[in-house]
Each structure stands twice: as C-alpha cells, then as structure tokens.
Amino acid sequence: MFKAEFLYCDTPGASHAHCACIVQAPDGRLIAAWYVYPEEETKGAQLVMSQKGTTDAAWPYAKPIDLGVASSLGNPVLFFGRDEVSANHEDTEFPKMIKMLSHAAKLLEDRPIKIYNCSPVSTLECFPHMSFEEAIRL
C-alpha cells in the first residue's frame, strides 16, 4: 500500500529541496533526510531530517542537522540491516564500505556531529557503538 504525504521544512531560506532519502526503521518509524537550500545548492544548503512514528497522523516539520558547513556534502543515505542482494558482500562491498566510513570518521572528528554504530552485530570500530534504543532517545 502506498500513500502520498508532504514533508515540510520551515528552515528560513529553504525554498528548494533535493536528494531525498527515506527508510523504515526496525520499529516501524519512517525516517527521511534531504537537502534544503535558498537558490543554489552549493551555497547555504542544509541537511534536514524528519521522523514519522507508526501512530503519527502527519510528518512533523523537518529539523536541520548541523554538519558545520553550508553546502551539500553529497546525497544523504539512510539504511538499516544488510544488503541481501549483493553476492559475496562480506568479501566485496563491506571492505569498501569500511574504508569509506573510516575515512569519513576522520573527516568528521572536528565537526559538531556525532555518528554512532547501532548495529548489534557490526564489527565497524570507527564510530562508537550504541544500541538502537539508546540512539533514538538522544
């Protein structure tokens, strides 16, 4: 079943949007992230996020995520779980992802943003581990 709904952002100057990503969390919530910007996506862009609970009637207004820069850093990607489609992903895709995430962790060390590894089975060590339940309470 599909349903069309609007996601709103009341961030000043956010008259344009792009690069939307949406995922369903294990608890049923829907989480969306996208960039908003005044006119040029390379100037004044902000990443925003909204979460809709399973009993919520509508999406709440999106909240900005402070990345410490005012430009698009690339498309947001949200995901839970493992990629069941890729064959041999333990030997092919995961090493690439670990290298990329380790590099990103180093780049973000001095930024006012915290990233946590909420997987109960992950061996990724570049981000501090935290349970999913603890993370959603932040």
The tokens of 51 are what? 């979460």
What are the pLDDT digits (tens) for 59-85? 888 888 776 666 666 677 777 665 565
**Residues in the chain, total:** 138
Report CA-CA distances (Å) from 61 to 19, 123, 126.
17, 35, 31
CA dihedral 94, 96, 99, 101 (to 10 degrees): -70
* Contact between residue 51 and residue 29 where contact means Cβ atoms under 8 Å apart: yes
> What is the per-residue pLDDT across 78-115, written as a single tens digit (0 to 9) for each?
776 655 655 555 566 667 777 778 887 887 788 777 78
Condensed to tens digits (0 to 9), the pLDDT of residues 13-55 reads 777 777 788 888 878 888 888 888 887 666 777 788 888 989 9
